[in-house]
Chain A
Amino acid sequence: MPISREYKVGVFVIGTAATILLALLFLAAQKGFFQTSHTYTLSCRTGDGLAVGMPVVFSGFDIGRVHSLELDDKGAVLIKIRVPDKHAKWIRQDSFFVLYRPLIGAARIVVNTDHLESPPLAEDKIAEVYVVNDINDAIEKIQPLLETIERLSRRIDSMAAKTDEQVFGREGTLPQLNKILKDAAGKLEKLETTVDNLNKISKDAAEGTQDLGALRADIDEVAQTLNKVSRDIDALLYKQKKPEIKLP
């Protein structure tokens, strides 16, 4: 007996609807829609740099998000973070939380857990968040360096007239400056890795990457310049000592 057209259409419509529904369910499950999660409350003295949706990171992996922010009675900021059950094991009683604001790139909350065997953090307990602020630190560190270079460049002529000991001696100006510059070059080199990482993250945002590329070139150039300065000073200081490569 032939199957009626109405019947065929019915089967087709129902089949399609079921497939779409299954696909949606699958996507939702993949996105963690049905996943239950733990909510932990953290407190921080300032909400500066905090945002809803900010990632919570453990060993470099995203394990959760900031769910909500609110002020408590004493004016401290309460941060509620939501961590899926499968990642809750990383958060323990003696975990400590750091709000990390890198010089470049998005801020994040970093979880550090030393003892994974210690009991899990209770959800009603409020843990403190420490703030690490690269931006301010960097400015603070560069400021004295700038001042030193400024002072030095103003006095460079008078320096030449002074005794060698004062300038070139162990405690003299140049060795100290040399150290500072090497320091600065090292810090800038460290910065490069940050930019590299950030480049990776923001690959999709084409415009942002371009900006970062330019910034990177800038940093490269400054690092190179500083390296050259330190090399020049090295040469100046050890001009008797020729860079001769000998077997030890």
Chain B
Amino acid sequence: MRKTLLTFTLIFICACATTTTQVPEWKETAFRDIENYKKSFLTGKQNAADVQFNRAREAIASGNNLNLLAKLYLTKYALQRAALEDFNDGEFLRINRLHPVSANLAYYNFLMGSVNAKDANFLPDQYAGLIKPLRNKDAAKGLEELLAIDDPLSRLIACGVWVKHAPYDDYILKLGVNTAAEQGWKKPLWAYLNALQKYYFQTGETAKANEAKEWLELLKR
């Protein structure tokens, strides 16, 4: 039976072979694993995410590409930021010492909340509007710019950076909750609900804090 299976799959490969585009295999594997890693991490499947991250790392390492390796680590940090977690930036800094790339450093600075004018040119376009309010710590303007980011993951990362490095209000936290909930990303959703509860608690709105707490408990059940 295995032979039959093999035969038919091989026939199918041959049939497909004529139309495939030529991308190095390691790059394709890395790309796929990174995409899967993002999904697994955000949906709270940490075990799967670890495996996929390591596989992507291996694939990129076998292509001897420090630039992409740095991007992989930055992606990991960005996801952790999006889930309001702290990250250990040792690996990126090591890579950056050996093979500095402006775009990567700019992105790293953005995640650390310290963007200067030079970095702004190298950041992905979607974050361009956010730089000024982030530097001025202007929450109202910041919310506007956050809402203008189309890609949900980018918006969530930006929210995470904002919450970590600038004064925030419950609107920004709620934006995080809604963005995560729309995509079904459990991990950031819980993190934002938690943050919302803490925020209400600190501002003395105990009723709302309790409500947020119970809400989260109901989801976790």
The complex places the Cα of A226 from the Cα of B5 at a distance, in Å, of 10
Which residue of the partner chain, among A142, A232, A246, contacts B1 with CB atoms under 8 Å? A142
Contact B28 A248 (CB under 8 A): no
Contact A142 B12 (CB under 8 A): no
Which residue of the partner chain, among B11, B16, B30, B157, contacts A233 with CB atoms under 8 Å? B16
Contacts of B23 in A (CB 8 A): 235, 242-243
Q: Given A222-B2, A246-B124 in contact, is the A236-B19 Cβ separation under 8 Å?
A: yes
The complex places the Cα of A229 from the Cα of B12 at a distance, in Å, of 8
Contact A247 B5 (CB under 8 A): no
Contacts of A245 in B (CB 8 A): 27, 30-31, 34, 60, 68, 71-72
Using an 8 Å CB-CB cutoff, how does the interface string of B55-67 with A read, 1 for contact, 0 for none? 0000010000000
Contact B4 A146 (CB under 8 A): yes
Which residue of the partner chain, among B4, B21, B38, contacts A239 with CB atoms under 8 Å? B21
Instruction: Answer yes or no: A137 CB below 8 A from chain B CBs.
Output: no
B-facing residues in A170-190 (Cβ within 8 Å): 181
- A244 → B minimal CB distance (Å): 7
User: Which residues of A does B touch, CB under 8 Å?
Assistant: 139, 142, 145-146, 149-150, 152-153, 156, 181, 218, 221-222, 225-226, 228-229, 231-236, 239, 242-248
A-facing residues in B9-27 (Cβ within 8 Å): 9-13, 15-17, 19-21, 23, 27
Which residue of the partner chain, among B12, B29, B79, B107, contacts A156 with CB atoms under 8 Å? B12
The complex places the Cα of A181 from the Cα of B12 at a distance, in Å, of 12
Q: Given A232-B13, A232-B16, A248-B78 in contact, is the A243-B5 Cβ separation under 8 Å?
A: no
Contacts of A244 in B (CB 8 A): 31
Contact B8 A150 (CB under 8 A): yes
Contact B8 A149 (CB under 8 A): yes
Query: DSSP class of A's interface residues: helix, strand, loop or mixed?
Result: helix
Contact A232 B75 (CB under 8 A): no
Q: Given A245-B31, A247-B103 in contact, is the A232-B17 Cβ separation under 8 Å?
A: yes
Q: Given A232-B17, A243-B23, A246-B124 in contact, is the A149-B5 Cβ separation under 8 Å?
A: yes
Instruction: Answer yes or no: B32 CB below 8 A from chain A CBs.
Output: yes
Among B1, B5, B28, the one with the most A-chain Cβ atoms within 10 Å of its Cβ is B5
The complex places the Cα of A218 from the Cα of B23 at a distance, in Å, of 27
The complex places the Cα of A142 from the Cα of B75 at a distance, in Å, of 37
Q: A150-B8, A248-B153 are in contact. List 5 more A-B contacts (CB 8 A).
A: A221-B6, A225-B10, A245-B27, A245-B34, A245-B60
Contact A248 B38 (CB under 8 A): yes
- A243 → B minimal CB distance (Å): 4
Contacts of A228 in B (CB 8 A): 13
Contact B74 A247 (CB under 8 A): yes
Contacts of B107 in A (CB 8 A): 247
Query: DSSP class of B's interface residues: helix, strand, loop or mixed?
Result: helix
Contact A235 B28 (CB under 8 A): yes
List the 3 closest pairs (A to B, CB-CB), nearest first: A243-B31, A149-B8, A232-B16
Contacts of A181 in B (CB 8 A): 9
The complex places the Cα of A222 from the Cα of B8 at a distance, in Å, of 12
Which residue of the partner chain, among B29, B30, B75, contacts A247 with CB atoms under 8 Å? B75
Instruction: Answer yes or no: B96 CB below 8 A from chain A CBs.
Output: no
The complex places the Cα of A229 from the Cα of B6 at a distance, in Å, of 11
The complex places the Cα of A231 from the Cα of B13 at a distance, in Å, of 10
Closest partner residue, chain B, to A145 (CB atom)? B5
Contact B21 A235 (CB under 8 A): yes
- A189 → B minimal CB distance (Å): 11
Closest partner residue, chain B, to A228 (CB atom)? B13
Which residue of the partner chain, among A153, A233, A242, A247, contacts B78 with CB atoms under 8 Å? A247
Contacts of A247 in B (CB 8 A): 71, 74-75, 78, 103-104, 107, 124
The complex places the Cα of A244 from the Cα of B104 at a distance, in Å, of 15
Instruction: Answer yes or no: B178 CB below 8 A from chain A CBs.
Output: no
Contacts of A149 in B (CB 8 A): 5, 8-9, 12
15 inter-chain pairs at a CB distance below 8 angstroms, sorted by A residue, are A139-B1, A142-B5, A149-B8, A150-B8, A221-B6, A222-B5, A222-B6, A225-B9, A225-B13, A231-B28, A236-B16, A239-B19, A245-B31, A245-B71, A247-B74
